[in-house]
Amino acid sequence: MNRVINFSSGPATLPESVLRQAASDMLDWQGSGMSVMEMSHRGPEFTEILSTTQSLLRELLAIPDNYAVLLLQGGAIAENAIVPMNLMGLTGSADYVVSGNWSLKSMQEAMRYGQVHIAASAEAHAYHCMPAQETWTYSAKPSYVHFCSNETIGGVECHWTPDAGDVPLVADMSSNIMSKPIDVSRYGLIYAGAQKNIGPSGVTLVIVRRDLLGHALPITPSAFNYQLQVDNESMYNTPPTYAIYIMGLVLTHIQREGGLSAMQAHNQAKADLLYDFLDHSQFFSNRVRVCDRSRMNVTFYLRDESLNAEFLSSAQAQGMVQLRGHRIAGGMRASIYNAMPLSAVQKLRDFMFAFEKLHA
């Protein structure tokens, strides 16, 4: 067996120990005689898996009791519609901060469900920075203020918690959830697809303050009504059982590694390694404002873009894959989520150093 170093932006690399555990549980989970995939979602075995996963989420993220935790289907793109369907009924409008392609998409989807006001935008800066808090302007009565905590495509991360006053703050945390500790009490709602930092695709985490429930627009499909899902403990429809089980294994792994402060130190060390190298290079460059650089998605460009294909094929020959940037951004992108080891990032840095020397 020869596993590659996978810099994919998502679905992304998982801890090898998690994959081994899943392989050994495949035919018979803990003496149940069943694969997790074959279990009734209401049976005792899966009930235990779900409650363990929920407790780990609550413990690792220190989620207060006045927040509900939902594990749903649909992914973050579905949440772009589900969030306004559930919350826009509060006042009929919402404010959006546009810091890149993901938050732009969120904003465009929300326009179908009510009045949308752009609170701030980095479009004029080609989405190479996070709009500073002092540039955010709120409308008179928004139901919530939405932002994306990490723009996966541009490699722009919000390293501070925005202040929306009394208005609920809503965050798409798909690509930096559990990469560092956060103060959940500062948010009204957090959503994240699992496939970057905390599991496989197919399960979406929604953390919602309970007082925001109960305002869904009448058109909201039942399966996407947060109140109904809370009342049914994420089981109004069949939850993505196998993805939840893998998420549980990933969370156990994070806990064993020392929790979210350990993840933060680990992620900072990896990002520093690449950005330090990029800043000293004559050959590669990063375009993001220094204070807004993502610790999850390191985007970079070759000065001579005619060497892009050679760069990718040489990396591939050394077992490093998925370094091509998103088609919107071009260039390169190394996604270095929780599960990416420091040694793999060192290997990439060494490869880039050698590639630069070869073409100097």
Ligand X SMILES: *Cc1c(COP(=O)(O)O)cnc(C)c1O
Asked whether the beta carbons of 342 and 266 are under 8 A apart, the reply is yes
Whether the Cβ atoms of residue 145 and residue 162 lie closer than 8 Å to each other: yes
Give the residue from 303, 291, 298 showing the smallest Cα distance to 125. Answer: 291
Q: Which of 172, 180, 270, 292 is catalytic?
A: 172
Question: Is 296 or 352 the residue whose CB approaches ligand X more closely?
Answer: 296
Strands 93-98 and 115-121: parallel
Residue nearest to ligand X (CB): 75
d(CA 187, CA 197): 20
For the bound state, the minimum distance from the C-beta of residue 164 to ligand X, rounded and expressed in Å, comes to 19
Taking CB under 6 A as the criterion, the residue among 5, 7, 8, 10 binding ligand X is 10
Instruction: Report the residue from 95, 157, 172, 292 that binds ligand X according to the rule CB under 6 A.
Output: 172
Taking CA 61 as the corner, what is the angle to CA 56 and CA 66, rounded to the nearest 5 degrees? 95
Q: Catalytic pick from 95, 196, 270, 292?
A: 196
Query: Does residue number 76 form part of the binding site for ligand X (CB under 6 A)?
Result: yes
* Cβ proximity to ligand X, 152 vs 220, nearer residue: 152
Candidate ranges 46-54, 127-135, 169-177, 255-263; the one touching ligand X (CB under 6 A): 169-177
Using alpha carbons only, give the angle 75, 80, 133 rounded to the nearest 5 degrees: 115
Scanning the chain, the segments in alpha helix (DSSP H) are 16-25, 44-61, 75-87, 101-110, 226-231, 241-256, 259-280, 308-317, 342-358
Which C-beta is closer to ligand X: that of 174 or that of 229?
174
| Residue among 202 and 331 whose Cβ is closer to ligand X | 202
Active site residue 357: no
Q: Would you call 160 a catalytic residue per the annotation?
A: no
By CB under 6 A, is residue 175 in contact with ligand X?
Answer: yes
93 contacts ligand X (rule: CB under 6 A): no
- In sequence order, the β-bridge partners of residue 172 are 148, 191
Active site residue 172: yes
Stretch that binds ligand X, among 32-40, 171-179, 249-257, 338-346 (CB under 6 A): 171-179
User: Distance between alpha carbon 294 and the CA centroid of its chain, in Å?
Assistant: 12
Which active-site residues does the annotation give?
A: 102, 172, 196
Residue ranges binding ligand X (CB under 6 A): 10, 75-77, 102, 148, 152, 172, 174-175, 193, 196, 201
